[in-house]
Amino acid sequence: MAQKPSIPKGTRDFSPAEMVRRNYIFDTVKGVFQRYGYLPIETPAMENLSTLMGKYGEEGDKLLFKILNSGDYLKDADATLLAEKNSTKVTSQISEKGLRYDLTVPFARFVVQYQNDITFPFKRYQIQPVWRADRPQKGRYREFFQCDVDVVGSNSLLNEVELMQIVDEVYRRLNINVLLKLNNRKILAGIAETIGQPERIIDITVAIDKLDKIGLDKVNQELAEKGLPQEAIDRLQPIIQLTGTNAEKLSVIRSVIGSSAIGVKGIEEVETILSTVAAIGLSLDVELDLTLARGLNYYTGAIFEVKAKDVAIGSITGGGRYDDLTGIFGLKNVSGVGISFGADRIYDVMTQLDLFPENHAATTKVLFVNFGEKEALYALGLLAQVRQAGINAELYPDNSDKMKKQMGYADKKQIPFVAIIGDEEMNQQKIMLKAMQSGQQQLVDLAQLIEIVGA
RNA sequence: GUGAAUGUAGCUCAGCUGGUUAGAGCACUAGAUUGUGGUUCUAGGGGUCGCCGGUUCGAACCCGGUCUUUCACCCCA
């Protein structure tokens, strides 16, 4: 018995109907990126493992898909390590390539590699799939598309503002209500510094993040379990219970961490970004949220996250500033800031909210029925002119198929018009044009057909 | 990586405390209709009940394992 065909866990096929809608997302995202002066690049699906490993933290290394070396890959593997079943060490001996985990690290590699050919500030966008060996669940896939926009080689906060404008414009065009959460790594560093625990940024942030879920007592309990002294936890209280407008939050934060130079720097950055954004007037809501911990491994300044207001699916866009991402590849003092749109989640959101427009632009407008060799040849001539007029059109290929079947084909593909040409029509130099929706048909000439179908 | 659920026709699912030949709707094919789809009517094809093993006179149903999918945790788009 033939084995049932299937695809790997967490991956998906996309039907023509889905691709029309996916392309709608890619096209609008791309359009906005280009409008702001970003240019496309692409990088290979696989990178050397050395450029990938250690960039995403311990967890990230586990989630990397590794590619087995070609040929007799066990030949050079250490026999004792194999015998010990030491997966981690054996891996490095039998695999030197991996699938990209995101687009940011390959981009950093790209910038360093072509630094002499790149004009800074370098603004690029990149829309490609990435792979993570995660366990799939709602809105989480093992292969998914990211749409990254980054600018490197500029420290100006105007870049942060521009990215927020891009977020605003993309979601306005897609008609999705979103909330943009803003944080700043420097503020978090200032908090940790102020309470004398500079190493504990992540523990603190992760704990604060759970306030909604587990409540204040549990958060404090968790902080204590992480080894924070009581005094530090006490000083954290105003931060944990931070509420109010962005301005109110900033003033509370300032009163707590005002003595930390880096913390103040962070506050000033946020204030600059917020006031600039306010001046140019974005339609999306911006909320200062200190619990944003994403990408903490390499972000150094602003951190962004975007959530859909009307669907619970996690974040659909995220990003931030990284002062030294290219540093690990040997290029110092190049700062970058960027964001990534999660196309697959955006697709899910738009599907759930039924936001996709009726899009027949990519589909066939008129099908020519095929009655035989002579008729097909005649239709082909007309077809060229119809296409010349910018109308998507096709001829049914098999003249042995009954008209019933050919009509069925048009119906299934939702082709709005069918052109019927037999002996009679050919003699009269006319076309029997049937409008599928109404079922009505009329005898027309080519110019009329183009006018009716093209309308 | 941890915990829980799920798997019956191409799809969505029914199938009684284990009982003989496993069903429905949709989809598909053909005909009613040899130049007319979507509606209607008629007929038909399609399943070793995820896989392997066990219990039993007998398993889609009970038990064990395994894989798949889904949900939550961790983390993340």
- A145: nearest nucleotide, CA–C1' criterion: B77
The gap between A20 CA and B15 C1' (Å) is: 40
Bridge partners, residue A321, by sequence = A337
CB environment A226-247: b (16+ within 10 A), e (fewer): eebeeebbebbeebbebeeebe
Structure tokens at A366: 């008129």
- The owner of tokens 């309308």 is A455
Structure tokens at A423: 């002996």
Identify the H or E element spanning A218.
Answer: helix A211-225
A441 touches strand B (CB under 7 A): yes
The three-class DSSP label of residue A138 is: coil
Look at residues A357, A367, A362 and name the one whose alpha carbon lies nearest to residue A415. A367
The gap between A401 CA and B38 C1' (Å) is: 19
Look at residues A361, A398, A368 and name the one whose alpha carbon lies nearest to residue A386. A368
Identify the H or E element spanning A369.
Answer: none
Task: Give the N- to C-terminal CA distance of chain A in Å, as an integer.
Answer: 51
The long-range contacts involving A39-44, CB below 8 angstroms and separated by at least 24 positions, are A39/A123, A39/A124, A39/A125, A40/A124, A40/A125, A40/A126, A40/A127, A41/A107, A41/A110, A41/A124, A41/A125, A41/A126, A42/A126, A42/A128, A43/A100, A43/A103, A43/A106, A43/A107, A43/A109, A43/A110, A43/A126, A43/A128, A44/A100, A44/A106
A5 touches strand B (CB under 7 A): no
The gap between A308 CA and B77 C1' (Å) is: 13
The gap between A212 CA and B1 C1' (Å) is: 25
A396 touches strand B (CB under 7 A): no
Instruction: Give the number of other CB atoms < 10 A from CB of residue A148.
Output: 23
Sign of CA dihedral A354, A358, A361, A364: positive
Q: What was the pLDDT predicted at A323? A: 86
A411 touches strand B (CB under 7 A): yes
- A146: nearest nucleotide, CA–C1' criterion: B77
Helices (H), A335-422: 343-352, 373-388, 403-412
The gap between A378 CA and B64 C1' (Å) is: 69
Residues 127-156 of A with CB within 7 A of strand B: 132, 134-142, 144, 146
User: Burial of A216 by CB count in 10 Å (0-12 exposed, 13-18 middle, 19+ buried)?
Assistant: exposed
- The answer to whether A336 and A112 have CB atoms below 8 angstroms apart is no
User: Which residues, 6+ apart, have CB-to-CB distance to A234 below 8 Å?
Assistant: none
Identify the H or E element spanning A308.
Answer: strand A302-308
Helices (H), A303-372: 343-352
- The answer to whether A149 and A19 have CB atoms below 8 angstroms apart is no
The gap between A45 CA and B53 C1' (Å) is: 42
User: Burial of A333 by CB count in 10 Å (0-12 exposed, 13-18 middle, 19+ buried)?
Assistant: exposed
Determine the length of chain A. 455
Distance from C-alpha of A410 to C-alpha of A370, rounded to nearest angstrom:
12
Structure tokens at A69: 């070396």
Distance from C-alpha of A49 to C-alpha of A96, rounded to nearest angstrom:
5
Successive 10-residue mean pLDDT values, chain A, 455 residues: 68 83 93 97 94 84 88 80 75 88 94 95 95 86 92 95 96 93 91 84 79 78 81 85 89 91 95 95 90 74 90 85 87 92 89 77 87 94 96 92 92 92 94 93 95 91
A55 touches strand B (CB under 7 A): no
Look at residues A296, A319, A306 and name the one whose alpha carbon lies nearest to residue A345. A306
* CB-contacted nucleotides of strand B (7 Å): 1-3, 28, 30-31, 33, 35-38, 48, 68-77
| Mode of pairing for the β-strands spanning A366-368 and A417-420 | parallel
Protein residue closest to B70, using CA and C1'? A137
- Edge-first strand order for the sheet with A393-395 is A393-395, A366-368, A417-420, A431-435, A441-444
Whether ipTM tops 0.90, in short, is no
User: Which residues, 6+ apart, have CB-to-CB distance to A403 below 8 Å?
Assistant: A369, A371
The gap between A403 CA and B35 C1' (Å) is: 7
Q: What was the pLDDT predicted at A296? A: 63
A408 touches strand B (CB under 7 A): yes
DSSP for residue A97 = E
Look at residues A247, A272, A265 and name the one whose alpha carbon lies nearest to residue A164. A272
